[in-house]
Amino acid sequence: MRYIGCKSNLLSHLEKVVIDQLGIKKGTFCDLFAGTASVAAHFKQRGFRIISNDLLELSYVFQRALIANNEEPAFARIAPTLGDVSRESLSSNLSPYHNVSST
C-alpha cells in the first residue's frame, strides 16, 4: 500500500547500511515508525526478528497481518461459510507482501 511517508523506495538503501556497512546480518530489527510495515517485512524476509510500532490503527492491522504471521493463513474458520468458494481462491490474489509470511 502506498501512502505519504511510505519507505518502500528506501529499502535497498536501508539494507545497504544495515547489512553491508554495519555488518548486521541477523538479530532483532526495530521499526519504530512502521506505517505499512514495508521496512519490517523486508528485514523479516532476510531473517531478522522484528519489533515494530506505529500510532495508527491501520498500521497495527498491517503489522499483525504481515509481521506477526509466520505462515499463510489457512482460513479454517471462514472457508466453510463461503459456499462454493475454493480455499485456494482465498489466497490467489494476495498482495506482493504475501511471501513475507513464508519465512
CB 29, CB 49: distance < 8 Å: yes
Give the max Cα distance, the chain. Answer: 53
Q: What is the pTM of this model?
A: 0.70
Residue 4 has pLDDT above 70, yes or no: yes
Task: Name the pLDDT band for 22 (thresholds 50, 70, 90).
Answer: very high
Q: What is the pLDDT of residues 50-91, one digit of tens each?
A: 999 999 888 888 888 888 888 877 778 887 787 777 666 666
| Strand segments (E) across the chain | 28-31, 49-52
pLDDT greater at residue 93 or residue 18 = 18
Task: Name the pLDDT band for 103 (thresholds 50, 70, 90).
Answer: very low
CB 7, CB 38: distance < 8 Å: yes
Q: What is the pLDDT of residues 27-56, one digit of tens each?
A: 999 999 888 888 999 999 999 999 999 998
CB 46, CB 19: distance < 8 Å: yes
The domain limits of the chain are 8-102
**CA–CA distance, 96 with 17 (Å, rounded to integer):** 24
Residue type for position 87 = R
